[in-house]
Structure 1
Amino acid sequence: MAQTPADFVLDNAIWFSLTTGHSDIAEGDGRARRYPIGVSPLGAIQDTSDASFDALAALLQPNEEIALGSPTEILPTGGLEAFARMTLKQMVRSSLSRPIPEQHVVPLGTADVADMLTLIEITKPGPFRSRTHELGQYFGIRVDGRLVAMAGERLRPVGYTEISAVCTHPNYRGRGYGRGLVETLVRNIIDRGNVPILHVEKDNQAASLYEAVGFSIRQTIHLIGLRKPNAVSS
């Protein structure tokens, strides 16, 4: 089956996010790009040529790490070392009807970063740094002033917006907070004319939550963590 433009974008979601929706903050050039270090550990290459890996290595400091995603396994060159691999399910919202948002949801911003980082440390939903909230809208649920659940937007490849950092404090699970946050984000993304997507670890049971709110599995994405050793010069 021939690959459609949508397939090409979603197969290379990080690259297209860095060259379209987040091109204004991306670092790099036509062969390799990355997010600023305080925003996200994600990066991407145009292709898997030696020249692209060399360009990626030039963006990194010695011992610095970066993560790339691809539908196929990545075999790095340019002296970069693979130190971690993870398999993700890429999910797309198949129905574009607008859900009813959770009433207890509040927007989160710079003033909430300390609380967001505290919740991230407890729940560990994935990489989240001090400026990650700048990538898109973030929402949370507070109970007696305490941030107990949150979710937001990360990748923005043309035509799509990724939902990320969905997490709930262990003491407050089972109350529908995660679903309410995801549905709020879905509504906002659809209102902007984009299609919601997300990525979840292969064996993460949260996939059933996302299926319950209209997401379906599109494909497997292989995430690889790369490190630039001291011996590689930029």
Structure 2
Amino acid sequence: MTAETFDLDAAELGTAGHPLDDPVRESLRGVHHRFAHWVGRVGRYDPAVARFVGHPPVLDERDWADLAELLGPGGGTGLRGDGHVPPPDWTVVREMASVQMEGSGLRVAPDPAAEVLTAADIPEILELIARTEPGPFLPRTIEMGTYLGLRVDGRLVAMAGERLHPRGWTEISAVCTDAGFRGHGLASRLVRAVGAVIRERGETPFLHAVAHNTTAISLYETLGFTLRKRSKLTFVQVPDPRPDNRRTAGPRPAPAPR
């Protein structure tokens, strides 16, 4: 793999739009460059950190070949946007609608009870993630930004943190509360607290949600988030020509953000 190389042509640089139009590549070019692996115009995060791939809005033949090199045989990922037509030997696993919400109107508030989570908390974080399933979270995802947690009797019961980081913006993600502690406003407190950390840097929060998760979307709207755009995630898988690819296939396509 040709890692840590990036070839963005001048035409694409000249037509760059809003940072949130391409939040993965914006993050990998900037704040998260240390996690980046590039082949041509396609970039991915270190697979121990996140499963996201950044790609042009329209992938040409070379882009598909570069994506296959990055993912490896049997590897999968989610592509943002409409109209992706992979090569004939690829598999389209599923499609999913998502929304992107911007938080310029988020009413932020630091929370004295929220603690900054560290690498020492990863086992507890992963247990909470497994119980609540807020979306993809890997052993090194915590390195993407600040994660805050709330504890009850010493037990981690709710968390939220920072994920994608395009210029001027930071994504709030991994918002989750243990089932036994829902209905007490813990998620709202944490979203506001993470938002306060983001605003202190002079940046604006944003987030993603699966379109059918209307409960979460309604919560975010009450906190001051507004819909920026609707999108579609197309999960694709690279062909695996190896003889016993059922046992040797690469990672499953990345789960959708919530």
Is TM more than 0.5 here? yes
Cα RMSD over matched residues?
Answer: 1.9
Partner of 2:157: 148
Q: What CA distance in whole angstroms lies between the structure 1 residues aligned with 2:219 and 2:27?
A: 25
Q: Does 2:59 match 1:48?
A: yes
In the TM superposition, 1:67-216 aligns within 5 A as 67-70=78-81, 72-77=82-87, 79-95=89-105, 99-204=108-213, 205-216=215-226
Partner of 1:34: 44
The count of aligned residue pairs is 226
TM-score normalized by structure 2? 0.82
Q: What CA distance in whole angstroms lies between the structure 2 residues aligned with 1:80 and 1:34?
A: 19
Report the AA paired with residue 111 of structure 2: E
Q: What CA distance in whole angstroms lies between the structure 2 residues aligned with 1:224 and 1:189?
A: 30
Q: Classify the secondary structure of the residue corresponding to 2:85.
A: coil
Are the equivalent residues in 1 in contact too, given 2:35–2:49 (CA < 8 A)?
no
Are the equivalent residues in 2 in contact too, given 1:64–1:228 (CA < 8 A)?
yes
Select between 185-194 and 99-108 the one with higher mean Cα deviation. Answer: 99-108
Q: Classify the secondary structure of the residue corresponding to 1:100.
A: coil
Please list the CA deviations of residues 162-219 of structure 1 after superposition, one character each: whole Å capped at 9, or x if unmatched. Answer: 0011000010001111001100111111111111000011021111111111100011
Are the equivalent residues in 2 in contact too, given 1:90–1:198 (CA < 8 A)?
yes
Report the AA paired with residue 191 of structure 1: E
Q: Classify the secondary structure of the residue corresponding to 1:179.
A: helix
Report the AA paired with residue 207 of structure 2: L
Report deviation, 1:104.
Answer: 1.6
Select between 223-232 and 139-148 the one with higher mean Cα deviation. Answer: 223-232
TM-score normalized by structure 1? 0.90
Report the AA paired with residue 35 of structure 2: I
Q: Does 2:31 match 1:14?
A: no
Q: Classify the secondary structure of the residue corresponding to 1:103.
A: coil
Identical positions, percent: 39
Are the equivalent residues in 2 in contact too, given 1:26–1:33 (CA < 8 A)?
yes
Partner of 1:226: 236
Select between 218-227 and 136-145 the one with higher mean Cα deviation. Answer: 218-227
Unaligned runs of 5+ in 1: none
